[in-house]
Amino acid sequence: MINKYSEIALLLDFYGNLLTEKQRQILSYHFEEDMSLGEISELLNISRQAVHDVVRRSEKILRHYEDKLGLVSRFILQKQKLEKVKEKLLVQNKQELIEVINLIDELIEQ
């Protein structure tokens, strides 16, 4: 499982354009550039509480989009399946090659 910072960074990659510029900027500072709420508040000349509120509200919005659309979940699942394909391709067993073909079929049908 991925940590919270990686999760929010992924959600931001997929759904960030659906947020306001300010929400996107604050989340990017906090989750991608690892800035504290205090550092962000000083940089943007707003209160720490305002930064906190924007972070929490924006996280909720991103998770709502993911619940409805599931793009990140699908991306992670496809990545895991491709890792399996890669592992299977390293082995030259006929049965395992058939399994690789089946995994590729699953990815294509999604």
pLDDT tens sequence across 1-16: 678 888 899 999 999 9
pTM of the predicted model as reported, rounded to 2 decimal places: 0.76
- Per-residue model confidence as pLDDT tens digits over 49-67: 999 999 999 999 999 999 9
Rounded to the nearest integer, the mean pLDDT of the chain is 89
pLDDT at residue 2 in the model: 73
Distance of CA 7 to the CA centre of its chain: 5
Number of CB atoms found within 10 A of residue 99's CB? 15
